[in-house]
Chain A
Amino acid sequence: MSFILDYYNYWVVVFLMMTGFYIVISANNLVKRIVGLNIFQTSVFMLYISMGKVNGGTAPILVEGVDVYSNPLPHVLILTAIVVGVATTAVGLSLIVRIKRAYGTVEEHEFETQGDVI
């Protein structure tokens, strides 16, 4: 039982990661792919935050009478990664808008057979 309690968080994270990965490689629509990529990304964030958790600890903000805090370092890395993530998502989405304008579709199996229009 303690084996499951020790690892179940990582397993769910791997499941979510694979769901995102599946959407990225199987979806035809590029917007759906970006959603899949974001699911993958968020699950990686969860993996990092899980590693920073200390049982019985509290959020890393100094309080009188509390000695056990969770690790603040993964929080810092992930906080900035989330904002950078949305910025790169925006670049990806604007590429999709340009693809739509050039080919008239964002379904991969429809424009991959078309010639180079740009």
Chain B
Amino acid sequence: MTLLIDLVLLAMLALTALRIIFLKDLFAVVMLFGIYSFLSALIFVNLDAVDVAFTEAAVGAGISTVLMLGTLALTGRNERECERSSLLPLLVVCVTGAVLIYGTLDMPPFGHADNPVHEHVAPRYIQDSPQEVGLPNMVTSVLASYRGFDTLGETVVVFSALIGVLALLGVRREDNSLTPESGLKSHLVLHVVAKLIIPMIILFALYVQFHGDFGPGGGFQAGVIAAAAFILYALVFGLPSAFSVVSPKFLQVMASLGVLLYASVGLYSMAKGGQFLDYNKLAANPIDGQHYGIIIIELGVGITVFAVMLSIFYAFSSQVARLNIR
């Protein structure tokens, strides 16, 4: 049964990807990309990667699509025809694909329990992490504790991407009187539904944040879901109202505070006599220390991801608002 589901999903993915090649309407391309992300999230569930599926659905299908649509609003909807021959790219792709398929023949067969990838460090994570870290979700244990330094690096990369976007675009605060009616003021149904849904999305984000130790979820997913709630607010009620709820300056402070919170846990554990990000030293009992450490750093990750995603959305949509004024 799993095999059948897998085959159907993979076939749908291949069809979606093929369709994207030939479409000239970029709006449809971006929508198909959202579908592609959702389908790959389903495949991740089928391959037992529930945390990854969660992230792909929230980030790939949600935030990426919104950002691409924001870019389309600025750059135009249609791809222009070009007389350039597509023969050379096709040749390059076919040759590369053939080489890669030849390469896969040397790979260990799919799904076997004695593959090299399951040999060295993985059994340690699976067998010992519930005792050493005390969490049932091994993905969170590895992410936040065993590879905590790595995750700090990823958080810093997300933060620096924000710096890049702000340096390139910046968030412009127009005078409220000049801003045209943005948002969907005349749609009463949307207003009521959005008002009902937004608190629930935020509640769900908090659940994902704090339940991430026990089930799928964690700071990355929670940050994106919380940002989605505010993006919905900005889309329905207009950018100026969103700015007065969460101002861009506040978000920039939050983004850096999240990274600082994460790094300061590492420094605190050093001050307690351990190594950088050694949570065992945070409390008298090592398991309690692991719990405190993971909750705090997941909070730091969640705050940074939330602030970065929302700021990036602000940067793009304030460009669109500026274009509307012209």
Contact = CB atoms under 8 A, between A and B. Distances in A.
Partners in one complex: yes
Interface of A: 5-12, 14-23, 25-32, 34-36, 38-39, 42, 45-46, 49-63, 68-76, 78-80, 82-91, 93-98, 100, 106-107, 109-110
A60 B76 CA distance: 44
A79 B60 CA distance: 11
Contacts of B143: 76, 79-80
Contacts of A18: 93-94, 96-97, 100
B92 A25 contact: yes
Interface in B40-67: 40, 43-44, 47-52, 55-56, 59-60, 63-64, 67
B139 interface: yes
A35 B36 CA distance: 11
A100 B151 CA distance: 35
A1 to B, nearest CB: 12
Contact of A10 (B104, B215, B309): B104
A79 B82 CA distance: 38
B71 A109 contact: no
A93 B89 contact: no
Question: DSSP class of B's interface residues: helix, strand, loop or mixed?
Answer: helix
Q: Which A-B residue pairs are the 7 nearest by beta carbons? A: A87-B161, A6-B109, A62-B136, A70-B48, A55-B111, A26-B89, A29-B79
Given A45-B40, A49-B47, A49-B49, A93 B138 contact: no
Contact of B68 (A10, A26, A34): A34
26 contacts: A6-B109, A6-B111, A7-B107, A8-B110, A9-B10, A14-B104, A25-B92, A31-B71, A32-B79, A35-B30, A35-B68, A38-B33, A42-B36, A45-B52, A51-B108, A54-B112, A60-B126, A70-B47, A82-B220, A83-B55, A84-B158, A91-B161, A97-B316, A100-B74, A107-B80, A107-B82
A9 B110 contact: yes
A80 B216 contact: no
A32 to B, nearest CB: 6
Question: DSSP class of A's interface residues: helix, strand, loop or mixed?
Answer: helix
Interface of B: 3, 6-7, 10, 13-14, 17-18, 20-21, 26, 29-30, 33, 36-37, 40, 43-44, 47-52, 55-56, 59-60, 63-64, 67-68, 70-72, 74-76, 79-80, 82, 84, 86, 89-90, 92-94, 96-97, 100-101, 104-105, 107-113, 115, 117-118, 121-122, 125-126, 130, 136-139, 141-143, 147, 150-151, 154, 157-158, 161-162, 164-165, 168-169, 214-216, 218, 220, 224, 305, 308-309, 312, 315-316, 319
Given A7-B110, A9-B10, A31-B72, 5 more contacts: A52-B48, A55-B111, A60-B125, A73-B125, A79-B55
Nearest to B315: A94
B17 A19 contact: yes
Contact of A87 (B118, B158, B315): B158
B68 A93 contact: yes
B324 to A, nearest CB: 15
B59 A83 contact: yes
B84 A38 contact: no
Contact of A107 (B79, B154, B315): B79
Contact of A109 (B75, B84, B164, B169): B84
Contact of A23 (B20, B63, B67, B161): B20
A102 to B, nearest CB: 12
